Structure 1
Amino acid sequence: MENSTSVSTYRSSFAAYTRSLEPSLLATLRIDESIVLVTETLVSICKALTDASDSRPWQERIEDCFANLDNERLEGILTAFAEEFQGDRPKYWAEKFKNENYKTFVERLLGAAEYRLLVNAVKEDAAVVALAIRRGVRALMPFAVAWSDALGLMSKDQLKAANRTNVLAINAIQMVISLDDFLGDKLLSSLPMEVTDATHSDLAVWAPDGPDDLVTQFRTLVTEASARRVERANSPLVRKIRGARDALMHSEDGISQAANSLIELLDRIMREAFPPKDVLLWVDANLPEESGLTYINDGQRKPTKRAEALCFVYGGDPIVSREATQYDNEDGPSFLHDVVALVLVSARSKLQKLKHADNGTPEERQQLMSVLSALEGALMLGLTIGGISAEPTRELPAA
């Protein structure tokens, strides 16, 4: 086998071990260069992402993994990934490593001592990848909480109208927790995590007493993340969210004040990012056959709130043509964009009703807190997938 350099300074134990063997021996083991390259690349990226001593953004860490490779080497890596992830190849390797006959064959061929070195190398690499996956899964929790809070605002009729109840009924929070538990029970517990940068919190069970406390913690993170994204998109408007919370806590007329602040927040953040004339251009260019996106008022054609919300969550970008799925239709907005836009519109409608709440009852206050959590979740998701920042409005297609 070619004695090539590693993808980066982060080394794969499996790649280092296999490259110490004779090419003829590797051929007998049916371990070719492509599987070594794939393993080396994945482990290098996972080590870069979990390196506790590196505080740079994740994009820069990954770029460094390939910084010293020429075009020929990069093409080789891409080809290796194409070969190893096509068809049944992943299933083939998974079954082979589980096959007792193959294990016995490899041990006889290498000898007991060398076989242990190979097994240890595979486990060390698996530990690095498992840590990266666990951290990745846990990084999804704020989005799962935001998604669940956002969907909590939708009525059963709205869910049925979307005709996607089988997906919308999924408990995203429980799904993330279950996946995290599986990783801990089935993977991390059986791997040498001491060779990684795993911390005590990485290895600890996440929700031993149930998800409630965990969700409360992450709902605070969603609030903070939503405020940061609103601030990047339109810094003066972040005061509207904080003002709404302050009004609920300190003012006797807090419900009405908070509702007014949040309505103004929604209207301004969407319209200042994409004025009505730009929304109409976006609708005509992307969803000309979609109903309920425009209306006529005083002889003038105007966008509906749903149109404004869709343009907002798409960030003014064109809707890319795609194949229809069981959740999407080929010509309409995507499932994720459509639901987030629907939540934003629903939040505004509920806020309009709460704006006139004058009893100040605990029930009304709880309703507004639920709308606020849903709105923060929807804004976090919408501003993330729309990629909206404080930059000038991007150019839209001409009429």
Structure 2
Amino acid sequence: MVLVTEAIVSVCRALTDSSDTRPWQEKIEDCFADFDEEKLEETLKAFVEVCEADKPENWAEKFKNANYKNFVERLLGAAQYRLLVNAVMEDCAVVALAIRRGVRALMPFAVAWSDALSLMSKEQLKAAKRIDALAINAVQIIVSLDGFLGEKLLSALPMEVTAATSSDLTAWTPDGADDLVLQFRTLVTDASAKRVERANSTLVRKIRGARDALKYSEDGISQAANSLIELLDRIMREAFPPDSVLSWVDGNLPDEPDLTYLKDGQRAPTKRAEALCFVHGGGPVMPRDANKYDTGEGPSFLHDVVALGLISARNKLQKLKHADGGTPEEREQLMAVLSALEGALMLGLTIGGLSAEPPTPLELPAA
């Protein structure tokens, strides 16, 4: 327990050290420099056994008891006891800072998720595995969790011993999340453009061209919609041509409906098949256990919803492609679709990159 707890604190301290500009992978490697693989596996196995025996929970209950605290203080002596309490509080402060930064790092993804879901039709929602999960306001959850961390944890811990900055300790917003969403939507736009550029640098111009068309062209809505449709189609098809998508479907989702159709007598992938292959990065559909959010069959809930987000954005763009009024309402609709598309692309490219090369699980020796 001591070794694993120390490892957690060391990793959190390394990741929150702003003065260390090395990649996070190198920072974590340094934390385990003194561990060989065999020793690490033994330690993790022993830690799992301790947790399965409910010992940590029993210790936590004991330390809540005033009589037990008094016993420990008499056992260690007052000075050593104070050092122990201070050390625990300082370690908790380091972990709390890492958690807050981690929660805040999720905000762009929460905004992207909300934007991607905003255009989904009732029919598309019905196609998802668990509709009730889609109603969860991811942005509000992040804001509430961040507020809880600030009010209940950071305020009670000695944050001065950590690498916390003033922005880390300042509450996001006391008046709601609307202003935050606008700020983080800009980050989503930038992150989406960077990921699109890594996938195909020439396609970034399509996003910029769409925004320029909305600003400067009288026929901007139609031009922007055409550019974004071409962007989405090209980035998916250049990554995974139709033949590759069909092979992926046959190898991973042979029983999933609505993934293929006949085109001129030839079997071809549907847009949903292209989107699912794209968000899986062409990688395998990993087996999983069923739960209340996932039946365990077909594409995972997360992959399915992001793929639906891409499809719904494309369907909306097809309708706006024929818009000729140039009204403020049409421009507002297109901006909403652009935000949804950027969010879905950011999520799709991120998830696809992770799914293409699933991490190898650490094999613990049998008990």
1:166 Cα offset (Å): 1.6
Q: 1:86 aligns with which of 52, 56, 79?
A: 52
2:188 counterpart of 1:227: no
Match of 1:18 in 2: none
2:24 counterpart of 1:97: no
1:79 Cα offset (Å): 2.7
Letter in 1 for 2:7: T
Q: 1:382 to 1:350 in 2, by over 3 A?
A: same
Distance (Å, rounded) in 1 between the aligned partners of 2:149 and 2:25: 25
Q: 1:339 aligns with which of 283, 298, 305?
A: 305
The answer to whether the 8 A contact 1:351-1:371 is kept is yes
Match of 1:113 in 2: 79
The answer to whether the 8 A contact 1:309-1:344 is kept is yes
**Residue ranges of structure 1 left out of the alignment (5+ in a row):** 1-34, 395-399
Letter in 1 for 2:98: A
2:238 counterpart of 1:264: no
Distance (Å, rounded) in 2 between the aligned partners of 1:93 and 1:172: 34
Q: 2:255 aligns with which of 279, 289, 293?
A: 289
1:334-378 per-position Cα deviation (integer Å, ceiling 9, x unaligned): 000000001111111110000000000111111111111010000
The answer to whether the 8 A contact 2:242-2:269 is kept is yes
The answer to whether the 8 A contact 2:129-2:294 is kept is no
The answer to whether the 8 A contact 1:287-1:331 is kept is no
2:188 counterpart of 1:210: no
2:268 counterpart of 1:302: yes
Letter in 1 for 2:4: V
Q: 2:91 aligns with which of 116, 121, 125?
A: 125
Distance (Å, rounded) in 2 between the aligned partners of 1:125 and 1:384: 32
Alignment of 1:1-399 (within 5 A): 35-86=1-52, 88-387=54-353
1:87 Cα offset (Å): 5.5
The answer to whether the 8 A contact 1:319-1:333 is kept is yes
Where relative contact order (Cα < 8 A, 6+ residues apart) is larger, the structure is 2
Match of 1:5 in 2: none
Distance (Å, rounded) in 1 between the aligned partners of 2:90 and 2:212: 50
The answer to whether the 8 A contact 1:131-1:198 is kept is yes
The answer to whether the 8 A contact 2:129-2:295 is kept is no
Letter in 2 for 1:204: T
The answer to whether the 8 A contact 1:279-1:307 is kept is yes
1:90 Cα offset (Å): 4.2
TM-score by length of structure 2 reads 0.93
1:382 Cα offset (Å): 0.4
Letter in 2 for 1:255: I
Q: 1:100 to 1:149 in 2, by over 3 A?
A: same
Q: 1:138 to 1:66 in 2, by over 3 A?
A: same
Distance (Å, rounded) in 2 between the aligned partners of 1:388 and 1:308: 17
RMSD (Å) for aligned C-alpha atoms: 1.7
- Matched pairs, number: 357
1:326 Cα offset (Å): 2.1
1:187-212 per-position Cα deviation (integer Å, ceiling 9, x unaligned): 11011111100000000011123211
Distance (Å, rounded) in 1 between the aligned partners of 2:26 and 2:183: 29
Q: 1:293 to 1:197 in 2, by over 3 A?
A: same
The answer to whether the 8 A contact 1:296-1:302 is kept is yes
The answer to whether the 8 A contact 2:96-2:153 is kept is yes
Q: Which moved more, 1:139-148 or 1:54-63?
A: 54-63
Distance (Å, rounded) in 2 between the aligned partners of 1:265 and 1:161: 25
DSSP 3-state at the match of 1:54: coil
TM-score by length of structure 1 reads 0.86
Q: 1:356 to 1:212 in 2, by over 3 A?
A: same
